[in-house]
Chains A and B, each alone.
Chain A
Amino acid sequence: MAERSFKAEVEQLRLGEGQVFHGEGILAVTKALLQAGVAYVGGYQGSPISHLMDVFADANELMGELGVHFESSASEATAAAMLAASVNYPLRGAVAWKSVVGTNVASDALSNVASGGVTGGALVILGEDYGEGSSIMQERTHAFAMKSQMWLLDPRPSLPLIVDMVEKGFELSEASNTPVMLELRIRACHVTGSFVAKDNQRPKLTVGEAAESPVRDTDRIVLPPANFLHEVEKIEQRWPAAIRFIQEHQLNEHFGTDQDEIGIIVQGGLFNSANRALELLGLSDAYGNAALPIYVLNVAYPLIPDEVVEFCAGKKAVLIVEEGQPEFVEHELNTLIRRADLQTRIVGKDVLPRAGEYSGAVIRDGIAKFLRAYAPDRAPAEEPAPPPALPPSAIPQRPAGFCTGCPERPIFSAMKLVQKELGDFHVSADIGCHLFSILPPFHIGNTTMGYGLGTAGASAFKTREKRTVAIMGDGGFWHNGLTSGIGNAVFNQDDNLTIIVDNGYSAATGGQDILSSRAKPPGRKTNNPIEKAVRGIGIGWARTMTRTYDVAAMRDAIREALTSKQKGPKVLVAQSECQLNRQRRIKPLMAEAIKSGQRVVRERFGVDPDTCTGDHSCIRLSGCPSLTIKPNPDPLRQDPIAHVENSCVGCGVCGEVSHAAVLCPSFYKAQIITNPDRRDRFRQRVRSWVIGALQRRSARAIAARAF
């Protein structure tokens, strides 16, 4: 079960001709795929395209009816390799992932499928995780399109156009025998809008039918001499075919006026921001009626030489609005202009920043600079920026962190405690929520080399006395860590410790199920224990801790793994369910139980304000969002006290930490019993009778000696 249920969105997938679809950009793509008669879909979840995977995962029934095959691939490489189905057969297939990271993982298969070429349309849907909200290295997928020669669609963020581009993308792929990438930026994935739907199409050929009548063409396989043939084919046939198709179907668009001595070329995905920038400069309106010509590259690669030359001819200067670096499009434009012997000046990164997201404000400032240089009469007056109202230091940063009750937090609390005893370790971190360990308050982790690569990242350290620790998530483990990390450590006789965070989901990407998940979703085989897998691959020292919240036990297990006499790689599986998903799972069950009169015990923690002295050691070892501070009610004390908010889910880490670290007696656990049974009530009566009497007596004594 994913973090969000998409039952309502699944219903929208059934819309027919003429009905209106409302929703997010990435969900519009799901509907567009079905409208285009896709035969199979795969992919690997990750922001910002997780919702696409989640919707398809929830749409089993519909997919069955249509004869469309969907699977949650084990990795992006798996998903890309799936496109092999479109090599020999006229099957339309689509795969999706977070880019650029997913494309990195997929690149071996992508190179192969791009080399041999495809018969059926092959579409790679990419969530370009760049700019604000991104969690990965800032690189461009564009480079992959160029080096493997796949076509890159970068549509304007308008739902009808995105939907159309999905269909055109398949056609382009088929017309040029080339896989096509459809790139959507973060905000475009999440932008809401609507489009008029068409009927879903059953695939003309299903994957089952294709498998039953195999077709073979060894010329499509990357092995000499075919590999050399492919390179020539790319240049002589596929590229010209693509250019023809793009021109004929006018995939790139023109906005604004026809004639001018200046103009703007913009990546499709940036058009809305560019138009807003022009609007703020008084050069366009809310409908894209710009006062100068704009050429919109809905196809970012390849460029169409004729269109470029036609647009640039007669212009003094053309601004290219191209996000990210290197500025591939700008380079290519300069080449095309030179070849056509035009004197047009191509202006790009000299007025726009070389790095960083191109928000409306950034583009506005860039266009203003461009105008000042090439059309000063239309340039805005230069205004000094108003002095900042606040210095950045006035606003504390809010790094992402572990959720309330997260089972990963106690693992790092325990590590901190072990570090206090044994000194600091080199810690090779991984990709996943657990990477938040590098942030305050834990400050644990030295490097991260990619998803599932925590153990591999520690492999250079053939330790002498002090062992190195690697972290890996269950998602990364099944993605590749089992072989790239654990297998490698066994084979090379490492002596390090790998802590595998087994929270039951691919949690960071939205709580999707994986091989070791405890849930039993239909159509998937889960409940494959990680410890069994690592033992199977040759790990001798393996242990599973089934309650990470027991900080003392975690600390002892980590200490033992690091000090054990036994040589060889060690694996500690730290197992507790992702709290975000657990709450989503049990909250309705609890509410239901309370409603039906069943006895329900809710636990939460608290801090006594009169014993807390405001040192915040507990926060430095826990970092739970529900463990916060509040003004000290004590008029004499100055430092704020610790305080547990009602959002507490009762995981108990704060209490366990204060226990294990010998901190303070201020924490208490409250068990709140709803619908108490007869035994509870009887015990409570006896207790309140005795305790009440004693409390009344001592209250009298306190009052007698009071101020």
Chain B
Amino acid sequence: MAQRNRFTIAVLGLGGQGGGVLADWIVQLGEKNGYIAQGTSVPGVAQRTGATTYYIEMIPAGGPAQPVLALTPVPGDVDVVIASELMETGRAILRGFVSKDTTLIGSTHRVYAISEKSAMGDGRASNDRILAAAAERSKRFVGFDMEAASERVGTVISSVLFGALAGSGALPFAREAYEAAIRAGGKGVDASLKGFAAGYDAAQGKLVEAVDAPTAPEPTTEAGRTLAARVRARLPTAAHGFAIEGVRRLMDYQDAAYASLYLDRLEHLGSDPVLLTEAARHLALWMSYEDTIRVADLKVRASRFARVRGEVKAKDDQIVQLTEYMHPRLEEICETLPAGIGRRILASQSWSHRLERFFTKGRHVETTSLRWFMMLSILAGWRRFRRGTLRYELEQARIEDWLTLVRAAEPATALELVKCQRLIKGYGDTFARGLANYGRITDRYRTASLSAAQLRALREAALADEEGVALEQALAS
């Protein structure tokens, strides 16, 4: 075989990530530095958010004839693979582009695919397998979160990828040659050069990614310290993390007495550490059910205003106005009322009918206006009357009912019953659907005494689709 002095580079990216610009830079880089370079791509509909590939070949100029360069990467013959996202890195491996001769440059951040995003629970693909395969299959894997790096310097990921290519040393060009290619591009040069530098340094191993380990909350009040001590004294160590978080959450949600009720309930569930850990999680979530009071409370906090400003990247001299998309239905309003009144309205056809029309339309709630802020603040302050509300009564009864089931069950079954709380989440129709699914499973459990495995299967079926088809089939079988 003739001596191989050409370079082949495959770029895998997503529409809109600037893959075309990156490919242009690489072609420029080759052409300006004594190579004949050829790039090609398959844009088409992939530009509309799909996965797309670019392919570049370069060979020293001045050969015996016009070189014949290929238009598709051949597995086993790709020198450099550049992937702008972790699953695209995986796709490059899957397509066989990555071999023991390949320098693999891949961002480790995720852009979730629609199948992962639309799952009713957690549909995310596993990162670990991709990272392991990337390290194992390539000559060298240059992988780090390039999206974060590009955001830090205010540019797009393509420049960081280009920097990582330079820093990897996979191509025989000096850093200056790369920078010249960016300059020749002419658009957003300064930002691109900053992104380039970030990528270059990271590929050279000069970047240390900060890893912030989760820290357990420290109590700040006397009541907090008392409850924390109680958790440590009476619950198994494994459950401490969730239990302390649960206490913190319920004190914020209601008060210390409510958090203390939470611990009472936990302590009555026996001593199995596995069960208590999961129960600490799910009981806290159930007890901090999202009623209108809670939503209003979270919406008006100063910390939330600050978080939003950060999220929308508002500068100091910009004004940020917030509008919420709320759709309280008559049920939610009645459930916030004192139990007696709320129940009577919901039970009375004429009252429901008369009031319902006020709640058929969604509200655009302008939280930053004085009128709406006051309104939400008053609603948030209703917290002190929460124990009298209809919703409180309903939820506490449901919780007690659930705990009774758990207490009476074998440990393995009890654990699965505890986990069924995961089905109950959201608001409005979503909440109603989740609660109904939960109800169908526990009803079946009561009548047919299901095993732990059967309970798990039903719970998973309930999360499989929105229409309840899978659950229906699972219950029928």
Q: Which residues of A are interface residues toward B (Cβ below 8 A)?
A: 47-48, 129, 132-135, 157-158, 160, 186-188, 190-193, 271-273, 275-277, 279-280, 282, 284-289, 359-361, 364, 388-390, 392, 394-403, 433, 436, 439-441, 508, 552, 604, 606, 608, 610-611, 613-617, 619-620, 623, 625, 627-629, 635-640, 646, 655-656, 658-665, 667-674, 676, 680-681, 684, 686-687, 690-692, 694-696, 698-699, 702-707
Contacts and interface: CB of A to CB of B under 8 A. Distances in A.
Contacts of B346: none
Given A400-B49, A403-B49, A613 B426 contact: yes
Contacts of A271: 68
B456 interface: no
Nearest to B362: A659
Contact of A662 (B111, B303, B428): B428
Contacts of A638: 121-122, 422
Contacts of B224: 706-707
Nearest to B75: A361
B302 A699 contact: yes
Contacts of A686: 370
A359 B70 CA distance: 9
B64 A287 contact: yes
Given A132-B42, A273-B70, A395-B130, 13 more contacts: A48-B43, A190-B43, A389-B93, A552-B362, A608-B304, A617-B429, A619-B117, A625-B16, A635-B245, A663-B327, A664-B427, A673-B321, A695-B302
B301 A695 contact: yes
Contacts of A388: 94
B38 A193 contact: yes
Contacts of B301: 695, 698-699, 702
B321 A670 contact: yes
Interface in B177-194: none
B419 to A, nearest CB: 10
B106 to A, nearest CB: 13
Nearest 8 CB-CB pairings of A with B = A133-B42, A659-B362, A285-B2, A613-B425, A396-B113, A360-B74, A707-B248, A695-B302
A617 B45 CA distance: 26
B385 interface: no
Contacts of B220: 703, 706-707
Given A672-B319, A690-B370, A287 B298 contact: no
Interface stretch (B305-313, B404-412, B445-453): B305-313
B118 interface: yes
B361 to A, nearest CB: 8
Given A133-B44, A620-B466, A640 B14 contact: no
B380 interface: yes
A613 B93 CA distance: 35
Interface string B200-243: 00000000000000100101110110011000000000000110
A249 B206 CA distance: 60
Contact of B71 (A157, A361, A441): A157
Interface of B: 1-2, 4-6, 14-16, 27, 37-46, 48-53, 55, 59, 63-77, 87, 90-91, 93-94, 96, 98, 111-122, 124-126, 129-130, 133, 136-137, 214, 217, 219-221, 223-224, 227-228, 241-242, 244-249, 251-252, 255-256, 259, 281, 284-285, 290, 294-295, 298-305, 308, 311-314, 317-327, 329, 362, 367-370, 373, 377, 380-381, 422, 425-430, 434, 466
Contacts of B304: 608, 610
Contact of B129 (A394, A671, A680): A394
Given A672-B320, A687-B368, A636 B284 contact: yes
A62 to B, nearest CB: 23
A287 B65 contact: yes
A29 to B, nearest CB: 15
Contacts of A620: 118, 466
Contacts of A433: 48
A389 B81 CA distance: 16
B306 to A, nearest CB: 10
B312 A646 contact: yes
Given A508-B45, A638-B122, A629 B242 contact: no
Contact of B113 (A397, A639, A681): A397
B113 A279 contact: no
A401 B115 CA distance: 12
A662 B311 CA distance: 25
B321 to A, nearest CB: 4
B43 A400 contact: no
Contacts of A436: 48
B90 A395 contact: yes
Contacts of B117: 616, 619, 627-629
Nearest to A659: B362
Contact of A616 (B118, B303, B322): B118
Contacts of A279: 1-2
Contact of B305 (A47, A158, A665, A695): A695
A671 B321 contact: yes
A394 B426 contact: no
B300 A191 contact: no
B124 A629 contact: yes
Contacts of B66: 158, 160, 287
Contacts of B6: 286
A286 B2 contact: yes
Contacts of B69: 272, 286
Given A287-B66, A670-B312, A401 B362 contact: no
A707 B247 contact: yes
A47 B15 CA distance: 15
B74 A667 contact: no
A672 B318 contact: yes
Contacts of B114: 398-399, 401, 439-441, 619, 623
Given A47-B45, A190-B40, A671 B125 contact: no
B466 A691 contact: no
B430 A617 contact: yes
A552 B360 CA distance: 12
A390 B94 contact: yes
A617 B409 CA distance: 33
A193 B67 CA distance: 11
A251 B37 CA distance: 26
B426 A287 contact: no
B50 A707 contact: no
A395 B91 contact: yes
A193 B39 CA distance: 8
A396 B116 contact: yes
A395 B308 CA distance: 33
A606 B308 contact: yes
Given A397-B115, A635-B245, A705-B251, A360 B125 contact: no
Contacts of B221: 703-707
Nearest to A508: B45
Given A273-B72, A669-B325, A691 B252 contact: no
A665 B27 contact: no
A639 to B, nearest CB: 5
B212 to A, nearest CB: 12
A580 B323 CA distance: 25
A55 B284 CA distance: 62
14 contacts: A193-B38, A282-B1, A286-B5, A287-B64, A396-B113, A399-B114, A616-B117, A638-B121, A663-B426, A665-B299, A673-B319, A694-B373, A702-B301, A707-B227
A681 B6 CA distance: 61
Contacts of A273: 70-72
A625 B321 CA distance: 24
Of A133, A272, A665, most buried by chain B (CB within 10 Å of CB) is A665
B67 A287 contact: yes
Nearest to B244: A707
B115 A440 contact: yes
B324 A665 contact: yes
Nearest to B3: A285
Nearest to B369: A687
Contacts of A398: 14, 49-51, 87, 113-114
Contacts of A611: 290, 294-295, 298-299
